[in-house]
Amino acid sequence: MVLVAPSLADGELAVLEALAPTQAGEAARASILAQGLPTKRNEAFKWSDLRAALQDGVPKPSGSAGMVPACWQDALVIDFTPEGFGLEGDKDAGLVIESEESLPLEDVVGVESLAAGFAPRALVLRITSQQSRPIFLRRHPGAPMRVRVELKAETNLTLVDTSLGEAGLASALIEAELATGATLTRYSLQQGGNKAIDLSHCRVTIGAGATYEATSLMFGAHFARAETLARLIGAGGYCRIRGAYLLAGSSHADMTSKIIHLSPDTFTEELFKGAVQDRARGVFQGKILVERGAQQTDARQNHHALMLTEGAQIDAKPELEIYADDVQCAHGNTIGALDEEALFYLRQRGIPENQAKALLIEAFVTEVFDTLSEQDVRDWFNDQARTWLKSRVG
């Protein structure tokens, strides 16, 4: 019997209840009992106070997981619900699917510790040969997800994950190991209601000549935070993360990433773009760490955002920490308003103000998707952005 410290807030007590009876659940429980949930007093959460977000407890799940979009009809769909996970669709050769106990991660607190702790079991995807069929991870409202992906040398996989809950606490932990020459392509879409909390963490180890390429679109939720922790451990390793965000109302979306270059001759390319209006808040924290031995690292990070109305908030913390002396690293960060001159130009041509704004915001934000090689995936993201803009701006 563990004595609950009286200082824990209702939300923290509810989180303790929600943790699974696993070793990872126990570890998360111990962490909360010792330190509570992260608050704005923790540097990494200074703009995203998780304890405050959960002050009214854990919201009851509601809403739908959404249909599988047309461009992913061929995918193997794996549904994650609060009760567990299930598969639907065909599986190709070279894919082994197993489930294992949810084990605690070492030395972690915060989102990854919680996401590990909520999941009753972990799904394991072992890739032993080239995969042409994508895997679609459909996260239902209030569902925990933990997926471990192992890509053997010279294999590839496309992973799609969506979280569209109206309400509830949903969590995701993706752990990926990319062996030599492997490629993991990931697409995520997050859109939560004002009672939804979405916590996701992706930790990926990128081997020699391997590529991790992730693209996301976030519309936020009551509280949404997507974390990436990537480690480049072999020469020729490549990490490319792209994210777009569109936030309105009281939405909150946090994109926090840390990319660690541990090997010489490794590459990072980051591009995040967003637009925020009303009382919504966008948070971008991007750190690139180049360790002493990681010579010839080439790392680029860009974050550009538009503040559409007064009262909206965008917090950005780009960070480069470099311990090697022969590297190329650059970052750019801008936060501005919509270009009034461009807006007038469009209106002078007869386009009504709101439609002109929507057009300019779309053009600005969806630049993130311009370099996606697959037209139908690009269209999928662009359509999501356009639909949102039509209802919120246009």
Partner 1 sequence: MLNIDNLHVEIGGKAIINGLTLEVPAGQVHAIMGPNGAGKSTLSYALTGREGYEVTRGTATLNGVDLLSLPPEARAAKGLFLSFQYPLEIPGVPTLTFLRTALNAQRKARGEDEISVPDFMKLSREVAKKLGVTQDMMKRPLNVGFSGGEKKRMEIYAMALLDPRFMILDETDSGLDIDALRVVSEGVNALRGPKKAMLVITHYQRLLDYIKPDRVHVLAGGRIVDSGGPDLALTLEASGYDRYKDAA
Q: Footprint of partner 1 on this chain (CB under 8 A)? A: 339-342, 344-353, 355-356, 359-360, 362-364, 366-367, 370
Least distance to partner 1, CB of residue 255, Å: 21
Tokens linked to 116: 């590990």
Nearer Cβ to partner 1 (3/349): 349
Q: In whole angstroms, give the CA distance from residue 361 to residue 260.
A: 32
Least distance to partner 1, CB of residue 58, Å: 40
Q: 112 by DSSP, 3-state: which?
A: helix
Nearer Cβ to partner 1 (216/382): 382
Q: How far apart are the first and last CA of the chain?
A: 56
Nearer Cβ to partner 1 (33/343): 343
Nearer Cβ to partner 1 (313/355): 355
Residue with tokens 């939804």: 196
Nearer Cβ to partner 1 (311/352): 352
Nearer Cβ to partner 1 (85/272): 272
Q: In whole angstroms, give the CA distance from residue 158 to residue 369.
A: 16
Least distance to partner 1, CB of residue 383, Å: 14
Q: In whole angstroms, give the CA distance from residue 190 to residue 73.
A: 19
Tokens linked to 321: 């920490």
Q: In whole angstroms, give the CA distance from residue 175 to residue 126.
A: 12
Least distance to partner 1, CB of residue 71, Å: 21
Least distance to partner 1, CB of residue 356, Å: 8
Residues 246, 385 contacting (CB under 8 angstroms): yes
Q: In whole angstroms, give the CA distance from residue 85 to residue 102.
A: 14
Tokens linked to 132: 């042409």
Least distance to partner 1, CB of residue 301, Å: 20
Nearer Cβ to partner 1 (22/382): 382
Q: In whole angstroms, give the CA distance from residue 286 to residue 273.
A: 13
Tokens linked to 377: 């995936």
Tokens linked to 231: 């480690």
Least distance to partner 1, CB of residue 242, Å: 15
Which residues make beta-bridge pairs with 134?
Answer: none
H or E stretch including 343?
Answer: helix 340-348
